[in-house]
Structure 1
């Protein structure tokens, strides 16, 4: 449409294009003279031209001009008329009006059956006709599946899209078109749901397959309170059988596989609408294939991939229901898998109302026989072949189980190697005697590691000897191992690091080999039962056991010495907090008091000796706020003076709690003075008398119960540390 509208010559320069076919050709300049698709003004220009055309043809073509103004969306016309005669007149008038401006209407279509009947039948026409059959619920699924099968036949013959078909195909489709008129007289109940008097609502699904197609359908069975049973078709779905593809070496599916595909289609259909159907019993699924029944009655792992994957999905979706076997003549899905004309479908009560036995009592239903796997061969059932091979794993050498000490094992291997060296005829003149040398120890260690690698990494050693690299499937591929003198070392990127070769490229040891645990146990003992991180760091300076963290954790967890050194503490079950601690109150209304010190101070006169002073700590039992007062000595008068200063600053408390004197028994000399202060009857009487006058209840905690005063004891420790630190910094 856009290319039929010219642009004014003054605006054509805005649609200039620079072009050349190749790099060697000169650059050419073109200007687009018509409206270009993609520009911002293109939709407006096209619509405005149509509106102007309608205005110009308002008198010559009044009906077409009216439709052109109201029933066009860009270049699409959607309109209608009251009769076929008036519709044809509108088409002639619309064509004349638009042809005058160079616009030609194409692809006419109508909902009138005889309107679109094309005399020449092509594959495009057939696909267009089949797409017009709108049946989302599949109520006429047997009719539509005939069109699907016919289109697949044309596809298999590689027919061209616009090439007329053979006469027999054209005759078939013309007959199919005529039969569609019978659908006008087909009636289906609009309401299929349960009524208010229904006492039981059941869902029954059927599936079946043929060589050409397979399908599934569902029925709703409602039992009323008076015993009457109503069965209605709910929905159906069909698919054509897949074709064989010789180029892809894909053969046509067998009938049992198609039956299984229909059961999977039934499961998917059930999954879509099961939450919208208010059933009262478990759903029932019916198939006329004994093989499918055998497949669904066993574990998916028993069957080959094609069958096993579909059986697993079907069992998962339909786990809330039960599968039954139904004879093929009583399976309504058989009609769906073979197809049927509309005239024939009208007289098939089994399709719309289900089998006759569904309207009867449950005992009259088909008997569900036990599944018998023996009646089918293993090839028909596509049973997975199980191959059992007796694999004999190479056990570690007995040498590693002789001793539980790694140094002792090294010494024994060194002695064995020395004996072998001395027993050789050629070495009789240079026998090794005396203590074992460091070189002999190192060679013994290398011999043990090499033996363990042969037992654990035989394939990796072979790959490194052939290709200088291990396979990607190897568990040590990420270590990039390298082979040096017959021993695998870790590759890594530390080749230029200024450290020893043993630290840059440790020797690899498998975690399941006994040598790995011997090495870790030796280093664990050598490092005085070190923790996991230190143990791993020291071992990796020379060795690289795989999964070393698991080994270290297992070793430390099983070490008796480590277990004894780290006993599990017992948590003391504490009593409930007193009411003063949990009752909301203003700050310092409930107070705990304690002394901190002594601290030494001197007067301004340098000749005076240092004197002792103390700090009285008042702790709020609710907010844990702390108030400090300096006390000159441990006399009752000094404490009362500090208490009065506290009251003057913080207000009158109602409850004050203090340590009992027995808490300080056995303390040092300074604390002994505190003990005597709190122990004295005179002190307690005076303090109690003075606080009673001020309406303060003074309480002493029980003897030998320091946990009762944990709050002020903690404040005491913090104050002591803080004051000492400050004094130290001042000095």
Structure 2
């Protein structure tokens, strides 16, 4: 048998003293996790209250600690069988690992059991390990906590498969959270990073078919997530041997409810798709240009230079067309393009670009372009009415 030898040391009722006593309980397999969790929750609450390491605790915290400490010696009456397979059990035909997970506002946890079936159809279940962790200081929703517990369950199952000498036929994962089951079975919806990363871990370490639903009242991991006082813990047969249905044939297990409705878009964990608005390149460019200037004159001059560049490009394009038409069609096409390039190069060399400046006409045209763009963007309905009623054509 595996049991506990408890020697209650005399420690001050401070954070340091409480931590010393709680840490002195050697429980690498987490067999008494439900009993230790309330003490860890107390330590976290003292830290949140800003209590110093050596400052004596008072009030409700002191009562909780005295109650927990008084039950600590009774832990010696708790024990579990060291051997997973009972004596005279015979040859094992089926070996399964069942992992249960749960979460609450106080914490989250998991517990795993080994289920053996022999030739005579006899069933025996043993606790393998348990994990119980305090809820993070940063507030997390219960569905996220449940998903974190499920992720922990998958990781512990991987460790058990590596360490156990038995040939595991199949692993099962049980949870009372319908949200977790929906996240795991999802194939299309995109989630936020927190959920997405944990679902990815779960899917890598397990198959959807391995996940099953269990009612909260039957879930032994509920003890790991909420904690138990010593009297309830010692009497808790379910924690050591697993829920009663594990001792029955699979046909008598709780009905599987993994087949679920799709995840609603209103679910806070669903990643909202960005609305993409398509606009023409000219509008996009003009909007970006306007947002860069705080001076009206600077904006007009910039638009004026753009219009000047546009006019120049159109001017040179027309000249290139005229030069090409002036060359005889009998000339070889490659030579024809070379002649065009030579003539255009000579024409550009005569133009003094440094002397270019903005005249009043260009600035006025730039002002009209800006005003027209803004009117079309913000008063399109009014412009449509004017155009329809007065047959006005806006340049």
> TM-score scaled by structure 1?
0.38
CA deviation after TM superposition for structure 1 residue 171, in Å? 2.6
Could you say if the C-alpha distance between residues 139 and 341 of structure 1 is closer, same or farther in structure 2, counting changes exceeding 3 Å?
Answer: same
- Aligned partner of 1:179 in structure 2 is 71
Q: Say whether the 8 Å CA contact 1:332–1:354 is kept in structure 2.
A: yes
CA separation of 1:149 and 1:432: change in aligned 2, threshold 3 A: same
Query: Shift of the alpha carbon at 1:343?
Result: 1.9
Match of 1:206 in 2: 100
CA distance in 1, matches of 2:97, 2:55: 47
Cross-structure match for 1:150: 42
- Residue number among 18, 23, 27 corresponding to 1:131 in the alignment: 23
Measured after TM superposition, the shift of residue 191 of structure 1 is 0.5
Alignment partner of 1:318 is 2:206: yes
Q: Which residue of 2 aligns with 1:307?
A: 195
- Within a 5 Å distance, the mapping from 1:529-540 to structure 2 comes to none
Could you list the per-position Cα deviations for residues 160-179 of structure 1 after superposition, in whole angstroms to 9, with x for gaps in the alignment? 11111114322321221120
Match of 1:231 in 2: 125
Give CA deviations for 1:595-652 in whole Å, capped at 9, x if unaligned.
xxxxxxxxxxxxxxxxxxxxxxxxxxxxxxxxxxxxxxxxxxxxxxxxxxxxxxxxxx
Alignment counterpart, residue 164 of structure 1, candidates 56, 72, 89 = 56
Query: Residues 360, 298 of structure 1: CA spacing in aligned structure 2 closer, same or farther, 3 A cutoff?
Result: same
1:267 partnered with 2:154:
yes
Within 5 Å, give how 1:341-490 maps onto structure 2: 341-374=229-262, 377-380=264-267, 382-387=269-274, 389=276, 417-420=319-322, 436-440=339-343
Partner SS, residue 170 of structure 2: coil
Question: Aligned pair in 2 of structure 1 residues 381, 283: CA closer, same or farther (>3 Å)?
Answer: farther
Any conservation in 2 of the 1:300–1:312 contact (CA below 8 Å)?
no
Paired position in structure 2 for 1:338: 226
1:418 is displaced (CA, Å) by 3.9
For 1:112 and 1:214, the matched residues in 2 are separated by 26
Q: Which residue of 2 aligns with 1:220?
A: 114
SS in 2 for 1:138: coil
1:226 match: secondary structure? coil
CA deviation after TM superposition for structure 1 residue 441, in Å: 6.1
Q: Residue by residue, what CA displacement relative to the aligned partner does 1:195-240 show, whole Å, maximum 9, x if unpaired? A: 5421111110000000010001100001111121111111011111
More helix by share: 2
Change beyond 3 A, Cα 1:432–1:339: same
Counterpart of 1:58 in structure 2 is none
Question: Aligned to 1:258, which of 140, 145, 167?
Answer: 145
Structure showing greater Rg: 1
Q: 1:439 to 1:161 in 2, by over 3 A?
A: same
Give 1:147 shift: 1.4
Change (3 A) 1:391 1:150: same
Matched, 1:288 2:181: no
Instruction: Kindly report the root-mean-square deviation, in angstroms, between the aligned alpha carbons of the 2 structures.
Output: 3.1
SS in 1 for 2:267: helix
8 Å CA contact retained: 1:300, 1:308: no
Pair 1:328 & 2:216 matched: yes
Query: May I ask how many residue pairs the two structures share in their alignment?
Result: 299
Larger CA deviation: 432-441 vs 253-262:
432-441
Partner Cα separation in structure 1 for residue 109 and residue 188 of structure 2: 23
Gaps of at least 5 residues in structure 1 are 1-110, 245-251, 395-413, 423-430, 445-731
CA contact (8 A) 1:282 1:321 kept: no
Partner of 1:380, secondary structure, is coil
Partners of 2:103 and 2:225 within 8 A in 1: yes
- 1:40-79 equivalences under 5 Å are none
After superposition, give the CA deviation of every residue in 1:54-80 in whole Å (9 maximum; x if it has no partner): xxxxxxxxxxxxxxxxxxxxxxxxxxx
Task: Write the distance in 2 (CA, Å) between the matches of 1:222 and 1:442.
Answer: 91
> Which residues of 2 match residues 619-698 of structure 1 at below 5 A?
none
Per-residue deviation, 1:438: 4.3
Q: Is the 8 A contact 2:184 2:208 kept in 1?
A: no
Change (3 A) 1:433 1:113: closer
- CA shift for structure 1 position 443: 8.9
Q: Which has the higher contact order (CA 8 A, sep 6+)?
A: 2
Which segments of 5 or more consecutive residues in structure 2 lack a partner in the other structure? 282-315, 329-335, 348-395
> What is the alpha-carbon distance in structure 2 between the residues aligned to residue 275 and residue 330 of structure 1?
28
Measure how far apart 1:121 and its partner are: 0.6
The CA deviation at 1:133 is: 1.2
SS at match of 1:378: coil
